[in-house]
Amino acid sequence: MKIKPFKNEKLTDYSKKANLVKQKQALDKVRKNLGETYEIVIGGKKIKTVNKIHSYNPSNKEEIVASFYKGTAAQVDIAVETANKKFNEWKNVSPALRANYLFKAANIARRRKFEINAWMIFEAGKNFAEADADTAEAIDFLDFYGREMLRYSQEQPITPVLGEKNELVYIPLGVGVVIPPWNFPFAILVGMSSAAIVSGNTVVLKPSSDTPMMGRLFLEIMQEAGLPDGVLNFLPGSGAEVGDKLVSHPKVRFISFTGSMEVGIHINELAAKVQPGQIWLKRVIAEMGGKDSIIVDKETNIADAAKGVAASAFGFQGQKCSACSRAIVDQYVYKDFLRKLKMEVDKLKVGPAEKNYPIGPVINLNAEKNVLHYINVGRKEGNLLAGGYKVGRNGYYIAPAIITDVKPAARISQEEIFGPVLAVIKSRNFDESIKIANNTKFGLTGSVYTTNKKKLEKAKKELFVGNLYFNRKCTGAMVGGHPFGGFNMSGTDSKAGGRDYLLLFMQGKLISEKNIE
Ligand code: NAD
């Protein structure tokens, strides 16, 4: 079968009334199914346990979106054993057939797009466009990694050696544990899981306890695509109980994690310990936090820069690892920039995700407390120019906060807050802006607004981030076009959505045959 070249999934245009209507109808339909309980699924078998995890609607905090039987240490053993047994079959399924499951799943997700968006709007508090972009990215990952597997299954280039027939093949690793975050609850979960699966591994997926329904939807989609039971095992549970046990299991070959720096470090340490009976060093793919900067130079269109900073800082309430949490602004344009930024942010109304407000809630009570705590810290470290207060009572709403005159070493300039809080830092010149931008332990995304080509060249060489953008926002990486991943404490630079990614889930085997007459 001829496979068309990869193309990014089109985003839904919600300025068209028909699309808005479809999204609202999907919300109405999904609303009727809120509050149901779902089982753990291991090897296709549904399992009930004593306790449950509930996911709540952050726009309406009493409303249960879905309940899940909570996995315990006992199910960890069953899940890993099941995945391990299945691996012996799945690794021998041809790459073309494995890729085909992903292509089928992409088509199913495309068909169910408005429904997937609706679940995400309820469970994660994304507005329509943010949810739609998340689902589109998941579809892209399926389509992209399917094609990537086909590429890796072809003959690999190696230097000919006289008298020998040599071949390099990529084979899977084994059982992988996939631990995604809640903030791209579908895209990242689907990307990490599908990459592992298409490479020939079997997976135990532990979804985030804030957004388990998105994992459940992925399972349903893969089942509908005909994926054999046991290749993808679904095990909701607490990070501390199920997560630790999974990560330290001797039969687990690799861990694919995306989340906070603290949990990433913990997983890396735990996975490094060789357990009794373990015959490999575990591979850890860990994509972690960010403290991302946008540099606003004096030689730029300030109105454009203000728009870019506002979109990067406050899209999905600043809950993106790529979000701009520091604007580093040249002193000559500082005042003008603040005025224009405030105008942009004043337009951002706060309200329920289902009503499609530009700014929705933060994910849960802990996040709300944490963000409000940092806003208090920020009041002492700078001047609150806008927002920073709680809005309404039903959900975890916080008006987007801009804190100005922040010193580069201040806490709100150094620590990841992961919410709608922007620190604005005044700099003397472009060189100082670069120094400030490089002064954190993270290195995920960054952007520079300037029309000066020499400054862009300098930024190319000196800014130490995995994803560097010029004259545009620092969020919204596209699969294929912007392979994504960061340096230092932002992670292992896996470059998700890029051509190196699948290699993280495979190992190379060289086969050399001497020619005999
Ligand atoms: P988190 O670290 O709290 O949780 C991530 C996942 O780890 C969840 O599924 C959680 O249940 C699980 N977990 C928690 N403790 C565990 C343990 N002891 N063992 C195993 N698993 C455990 O992060 P979060 O709040 O879900 O996500 C937000 C964070 O993710 C932010 O720091 C953000 O910057 C980061 N993030 C990074 C990227 C990237 O590509 N670099 C992308 C998205 C999010």
Quote the domain boundaries for residue 105. Answer: 19-288+494-510
**Signed CA dihedral, 463, 464, 470, 471: sign only:** negative
What pLDDT score was predicted for residue 136? 98
Report how far ligand 1's centroid is from the alpha carbon of 336 (Å): 37
517 in a domain, yes or no?
no
In a domain, 2, yes or no: no
What percentage of the chain has pLDDT greater than the value 70? 100
Which residues 6+ apart lie within 8 Å of 290 measured at CB? 321, 322, 323, 325, 416, 442, 444, 445, 486, 490
What is the per-residue pLDDT across 409-422, written as a single tens digit (0 to 9) for each? 999 999 999 999 99
Structure confidence at residue 517 (pLDDT): 75
Residue 507 has pLDDT above 80, yes or no: yes
CA distance 407 to 414: 10
Find the length of the chain.
517
**For residue 334, which of 383, 291, 290 has the smallest C-alpha distance?**
383
The answer as to whether 72 is a domain residue is: yes
Number of domains in the chain: 2
Compute the distance from residue 343 Cα to the ligand 1 centre, in Å: 33
SS3 per residue for 356-397: CCCECCCCCHHHHHHHHHHHHHHHHHCEEEECCCEECCCCCE
Binned at pLDDT 50, 70 and 90, residue 24 comes out as very high
Q: Are residues 296 and 273 in the same domain?
A: no
Which atom of ligand 1 has the smallest separation from the CA of 321? 34
82, 43 Cβ separation under 8 angstroms: yes
Q: Which of 508, 516, 517 is nearest to 167 (CA)?
A: 508
pLDDT (tens digit per residue) in 332-380: 999 999 999 999 999 999 999 999 999 999 999 999 999 999 999 999 9
Q: Do 283 and 359 belong together in one domain? A: no
Q: What is the pLDDT of residues 426-438, one digit of tens each?
A: 999 999 999 999 9
Q: What's the rounded Cα separation, in Å, for the pair 284 and 176?
A: 10
Based on the domain organization, do 272 and 411 belong to the same domain? no
Range 26-33 average pLDDT: 98
Active site residues: 287, 321
Is the same domain home to 243 and 269? yes
C-alpha to C-alpha distance for 330 and 302, rounded to whole angstroms: 11
Coil/strand/helix, residue 24: helix
Task: Give the separation between CA 133 and CA 483, rounded to whole angstroms.
Answer: 16
Tell me the H-state helices in 285-328: 302-314
Q: Give every CB contact of residue 158 below 8 A, 6+ residues apart in sequence.
A: 166, 167, 168, 510
Q: Give the pLDDT of residue 127.
A: 98
Residue 505: half-sphere exposure toward Cβ, Cα within 13 Å? 29
Q: What is the mean pLDDT of residues 80-100?
A: 98
Quick one: tokens of 139?
């579809």
Q: Which residue has the tokens 């190379």?
A: 508
Question: Quick one: 134 and 105 in the same domain?
Answer: yes
The pLDDT value given to residue 393: 83
Ligand 1 atom nearest to 260, measured from its CA: 32
Q: Are residues 27 and 165 in the same domain?
A: yes
Give the pLDDT confidence of 152-187 residue by residue, as tens digits. Answer: 999 999 999 999 999 999 999 999 999 999 999 999
Identify whether 340 is part of a domain.
yes
* 3 state DSSP class of 301: coil
- Indicate the top mutation candidate among 183, 442, 467 to test ligand 1's pocket, ranked by most ligand atoms within 8 A of CB: 183
Q: Answer whether 174's CB lies under 8 Å from 87's CB.
A: yes
What secondary structure, in 3-state letters, does 50-74 show?
Answer: CCEEEEEECCEEEEEEEEEECCCHH
Three-class SS state of 438? coil
Q: Which of 260, 261, 482 to mutate to test the pocket of ligand 1 (most atoms within 8 A of CB)?
A: 260
Residues 271 and 300 in one domain: no
What was the pLDDT predicted at 2?
Answer: 84
pTM higher than the cut 0.85: yes
Same domain, 157 and 223: yes
Q: Is residue 98 part of a domain?
A: yes
CA–centroid distance, residue 262 to ligand 1 (Å):
9
Place of tokens 């689902």: 135
Looking at the fold, whether 122 and 246 belong to one and the same domain comes out as: yes
- For atom 20 of ligand 1, the residue with the nearest CA is 243
The pLDDT of residue 451 is: 98
What pLDDT score was predicted for residue 449? Answer: 98
pLDDT digits (tens, 9 = 90+) for 109-157: 999 999 999 999 999 999 999 999 999 999 999 999 999 999 999 999 9
Pocket lined around ligand 1, Cβ cut-off 6 Å: 179-184, 188, 208-209, 239-240, 243-244, 247, 258-260, 263, 266-267, 287-290, 321, 416, 418, 444, 486, 490-491
Nearest CA owner, ligand 1 atom 8: 208
Residue 385 domain-assigned (yes or no) = yes
Nearest CA to ligand 1 atom 35: 259
Q: Do 400 and 427 belong to one domain? A: yes
CATH number at residue 39: 3.40.605.10
pLDDT of residue 200: 98
Question: Mutate which of 70, 137, 177, 208 to test ligand 1's pocket (most atoms within 8 Å of Cβ)?
Answer: 208
Q: Which two tokens stand for residue 454?
A: 């020499």
The residues, any chain, with a CB within 8 Å of residue 153's CB and separated by 6 or more, are 94, 95, 96, 170
In a domain, 11, yes or no: no
Own/partner contacts of 69-74, CB < 8 Å, gap of 24 or more, are 69/37, 69/38, 69/39, 69/40, 69/236, 70/236, 70/237, 70/238, 71/40, 71/206, 71/235, 71/236, 71/237, 71/241, 71/242, 72/237, 72/241, 72/242, 73/241, 73/242, 73/245
Q: Give the ligand 1 atom nearest the CA of 486.
A: 41
How far, in Å, CA of 245 to CA of 185, rounded? Answer: 23
For residues 256, 257, 263 and 266, what is the CA-based torsion angle, rounded to 10 degrees? 10
Answer yes or no: do 195 and 258 share one domain.
Answer: yes
Same domain? For 316 and 194 the reply is no
Q: What CATH number is associated with residue 438?
A: 3.40.309.10
- 392, part of any domain: yes
Least Cα distance to 78 among 220, 238, 249, 240 occurs for 249
